[in-house]
């Protein structure tokens, strides 16, 4: 990961930009550079992943234009060869150096061409203007805001802009900013037709596209590791990666010391695929001691996101402290497309599809935010194969009749797609879905709820929660998170749309706790 910063306000000054970037040094611990551009500034903190020498340091320059980018551009080498044939020369091995020549060739049409996880800020010297863009899923973070004088600011994290912009706003995924306007160049949730592929063709394409998505994310000049929960999604990512490696990959799992669910399954997967496996055990004290640190890093008050982040945050901290790994592959963005436990209650195929579109549209505020902050907070880069644009585009256009759980097993298409490979034990391939925050150990969420119940009296809860008009806390646990959020991000609650909950309009989903274990179909997920 890296941090990027940009503003149209030249009078803001290098010292104040450095102070803003100091809040996210962990995203880019290797080096920092702040440079004037036209009427404004660009700033960059580097975590070296591709092109590890000094030539890979940003901002990159070309004919007076400049760019800073937090991202990975997959398949950049053929593009680089193309541009070289057109007369461009490159100083580094960095994938992001191709952005300015691409922009010179194609202008803002470039963004729709990129197969990438990225957020970038570009200064166009020809028009003396700032341009910013973010990938269509929102895997890489970016926020923006305006000061009292109307100058715009962009930065990787909200905390870079606290105290600068009056209101901090997430930069919309799939958009670029140009000439004061935000323009949508790709909306992954806008599905207007379905493919006519048969079930077996669908599963073959899912199989091939996921393998391709994992494969392209193995290109790194820095060392790669893998988060392995023992669930379907992370296990597939690890199994595919191991099948392409001649040496054991490094896999990591975490669980509560007293009642971890995931650890035994992760161990089974690791033994089967032959990875070099590591287990991290945490205690109730570790969980409670990390709460404020986690909320400060995340910039959210959402219960589901925070619960799921604690284990991820702590495992990433351990990886950072005990290894030289700089890239982590994760299994996020599968449930949003193939279904959660609660989508078993979808009343029909259209309802399932609309829910999937909603989840993909909003994922940058929830699971994608979690993956980025937990990993970047410990100076590593997240790569998300299920977020591969070709993969997401294909899966979102599958006829939702095939995605409904009429098979007696959720996410059947994804499971069936990999039966023939024997990349995983059949028992893992068919393992019931368990929410990560629960599978780390049921005691984790229970301990937090008990702590919150003891921290506030009923009277305090009513009084304090009543202060909030937007996303009002509805449990003592949610109040605890909201109070911590306001400490670091005062008055910025609208950065997150609302609480992540199962669709409350569906029968069977009327739950006050977002955990899947409160659904009637949770079944064997928690064993």
CA nearest neighbour of 242 among 329, 338, 325, 333: 329
The encoded tokens of residue 484 equal: 């911590």
Average pLDDT score over residue span 350-362: 97
Q: Which residues, in sequence order, are CB contacts of 117 under 8 Å at separation 6+?
A: 71, 72, 135, 137, 139, 140, 383, 384, 387
pLDDT for 257 equals: 85
Catalytic-residue membership of 304: yes
Catalytic-residue membership of 21: no
Catalytic-residue membership of 47: yes
Cα–Cα distance, 440 to 135 (Å, whole number): 30
Average pLDDT score over residue span 459-463: 97
Catalytic residue among 28, 71, 138, 387: 71
CA nearest neighbour of 413 among 133, 179, 205, 107: 205
pLDDT for 459 equals: 97
Strands (DSSP E) found in 362-468: 381-383
pLDDT in tens, 466-524: 999 999 999 999 999 999 999 999 999 999 998 999 999 999 888 888 877 778 777 66
The encoded tokens of residue 218 equal: 């193995």
Catalytic residue among 2, 122, 210, 238: 2
Q: Is the pLDDT of residue 402 over 80?
A: yes
Catalytic-residue membership of 114: no
Distances (CA, A) of 504 to 54, 513, 514: 52, 11, 11
Task: Compute CA 340 distance to the chain's CA centroid, rounded to the nearest angstrom.
Answer: 18
- Residue environment code for 190-228, b if the CB has 16+ CB neighbours within 10 A, otherwise e: ebeeeeebeeeebbebbbebbbbbbbbbbbeeeebbbbb
CA angle 78, 31, 166 (to 5 degrees): 95
pLDDT for 510 equals: 86
Cα–Cα distance, 362 to 384 (Å, whole number): 16
Average pLDDT score over residue span 386-399: 98
pLDDT for 51 equals: 73
pLDDT for 439 equals: 62
Distances (CA, A) of 281 to 190, 210, 232, 321, 434: 42, 30, 21, 15, 19
pLDDT for 384 equals: 96
Residue 54: DSSP 8-state: G
Mean pLDDT of the chain, nearest integer: 94
Catalytic-residue membership of 2: yes
- Residue environment code for 146-170, b if the CB has 16+ CB neighbours within 10 A, otherwise e: beeeebbbbbbbbbbbbebbeebeb
User: Taking the CB of residue 511, how many other CB atoms lie within 10 A of it?
Assistant: 16
Rg (CA), the chain: 22
pLDDT for 522 equals: 75
The encoded tokens of residue 14 equal: 């290098």
Q: Is the pLDDT of residue 525 over 60?
A: no
Q: Which residues, in sequence order, are CB contacts of 345 under 8 Å at separation 6+?
A: 502, 503, 506, 507, 508, 509, 519, 521
pLDDT for 524 equals: 62
Average pLDDT score over residue span 46-72: 89
Catalytic residue among 46, 159, 307, 326: 307
Cα–Cα distance, 264 to 427 (Å, whole number): 13
Residue 11: DSSP 8-state: G
Q: What's the whole-model pTM score?
A: 0.96
Cα–Cα distance, 22 to 56 (Å, whole number): 21
Classified as helix, coil or strand, 34 is strand
The encoded tokens of residue 40 equal: 């404004």
Relative to beta strand 143-146, strand 152-155 is antiparallel
| Residue bearing tokens 């709460």 | 291
Phi–psi pair at 473, nearest 5 degrees: -55, 135
pLDDT for 229 equals: 92
Catalytic-residue membership of 405: no
Q: Which residues, in sequence order, are CB contacts of 272 under 8 Å at separation 6+?
A: 239, 424, 425, 428
CA angle 501, 504, 509 (to 5 degrees): 85
pLDDT in tens, 189-224: 999 999 999 999 999 999 999 999 999 999 888 899
DSSP string, 151-204: -EEEESSGGGTBTTBSS-EEPPTTEEEETTEEEES--TT---------HHHHHH
Catalytic residue among 7, 9, 24, 70: 70
pLDDT in tens, 64-88: 999 999 999 998 889 899 999 998 9
Q: Is the pLDDT of residue 169 over 80?
A: yes
If pLDDT is split at 50, 70 and 90, which confidence band does 527 have? low
Cα–Cα distance, 44 to 36 (Å, whole number): 12
Catalytic residue among 21, 37, 42, 47: 47
Q: Is the pLDDT of residue 55 over 90?
A: no
User: Taking the CB of residue 331, how many other CB atoms lie within 10 A of it?
Assistant: 24
Cα–Cα distance, 272 to 424 (Å, whole number): 7
Residue 216: DSSP 8-state: H
pLDDT in tens, 133-161: 999 999 999 999 999 999 999 999 999 99
User: 321: buried, middle or exposed (CB in 10 Å: 19+, 13-18, 0-12)?
Assistant: exposed
Cα–Cα distance, 510 to 450 (Å, whole number): 22
Task: Answer yes or no: are the C-beta atoms of 110 and 174 closer than 8 Å.
Answer: no
Delineate the domains of the chain, giving CATH numbers in brackets: 3-184 (3.60.20.10), 199-429+443-526 (3.40.50.620)
pLDDT in tens, 307-340: 999 999 999 999 999 999 999 999 999 999 999 9
Catalytic residue among 7, 24, 205, 304: 304
Relative to beta strand 181-184, strand 116-124 is unpaired
Q: Is the pLDDT of residue 441 over 80?
A: no
pLDDT for 483 equals: 98
């Amino acid at each position: 990961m890296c941090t990027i910063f940009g503003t149209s306000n030249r009078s803001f000054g290098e010292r104040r930009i450095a102070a803003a970037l100091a809040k996210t040094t962990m995203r880019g611990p290797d080096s920092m550079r702040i440079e004037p551009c036209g009427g404004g500034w660009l700033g960059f903190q580097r975590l070296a992943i591709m092109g590890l020498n000094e030539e890979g340091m940003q901002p990159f320059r070309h004919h007076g234009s400049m760019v800073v980018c937090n991202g990975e551009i997959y398949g950049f080498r053929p593009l680089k060869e193309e541009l070289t044939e057109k007369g461009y020369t490159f100083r580094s091995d960095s994938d992001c150096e191709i952005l300015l020549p691409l922009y010179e060739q194609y202008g803002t049409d470039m963004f729709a061409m990129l197969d990438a996880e990225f957020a970038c800020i570009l200064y166009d010297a020809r028009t003396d203007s700032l341009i910013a863009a973010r990938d269509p899923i929102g895997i890489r973070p970016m926020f923006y805001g305006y000061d009292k004088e109307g100058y715009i600011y962009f930065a990787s994290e909200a905390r870079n802009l606290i105290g600068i912009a009056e209101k901090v706003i997430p930069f919309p995924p799939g958009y670029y900013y140009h000439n004061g306007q935000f323009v949508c160049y790709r909306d992954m949730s806008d599905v207007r037709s379905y493919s006519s592929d048969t079930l077996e063709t669908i599963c073959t394409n899912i199989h091939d596209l996921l393998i391709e998505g994992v494969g392209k994310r193995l290109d790194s000049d820095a060392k790669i590791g893998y988060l392995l929960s023992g669930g379907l999604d992370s296990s597939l990512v690890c199994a595919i990666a191991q099948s392409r490696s001649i040496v054991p990959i490094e896999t990591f799992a975490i669980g509560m010391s007293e009642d971890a669910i995931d650890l035994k399954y992760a161990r089974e997967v690791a033994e089967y695929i032959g990875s070099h496996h590591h287990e991290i055990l945490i205690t109730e004290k570790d969980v409670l001691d990390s709460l404020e640190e986690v909320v400060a890093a995340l910039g959210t008050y959402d219960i589901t996101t925070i619960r799921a982040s604690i284990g991820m945050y702590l495992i990433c901290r351990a990886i950072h402290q005990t290894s030289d790994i700089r890239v982590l592959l994760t299994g996020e963005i599968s449930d949003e497309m193939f279904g959660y436990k609660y989508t078993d209650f979808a009343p029909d195929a259209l309802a399932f599809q609309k829910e999937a579109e909603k989840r993909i549209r909003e994922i940058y505020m929830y699971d994608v935010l979690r993956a980025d902050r937990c990993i970047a907070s410990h100076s590593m880069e997240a790569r998300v194969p299920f977020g591969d644009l070709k993969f997401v585009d294909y899966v979102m256009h599958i006829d939702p009749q095939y995605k409904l759980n009429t098979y007696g097993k959720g996410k059947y298409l994804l499971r069936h797609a990999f039966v023939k490979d024997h990349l995983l034990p059949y028992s893992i391939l068919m393992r019931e879905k368990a929410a990560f925050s629960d599978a780390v150990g049921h005691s984790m969420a229970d301990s937090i709820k008990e702590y919150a119940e003891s921290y506030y009296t009923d009277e305090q809860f009513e009084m304090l929660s009543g202060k909030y008009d937007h996303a009002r806390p509805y449990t003592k646990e949610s109040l605890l998170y909201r109070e911590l959020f306001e400490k670091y991000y005062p008055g910025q609650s609208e950065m997150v749309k609302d609480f992540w909950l199962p669709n409350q309009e569906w029968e069977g989903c009327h739950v006050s706790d977002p955990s899947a274990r409160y659904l009637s179909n949770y079944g064997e997920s928690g064993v």
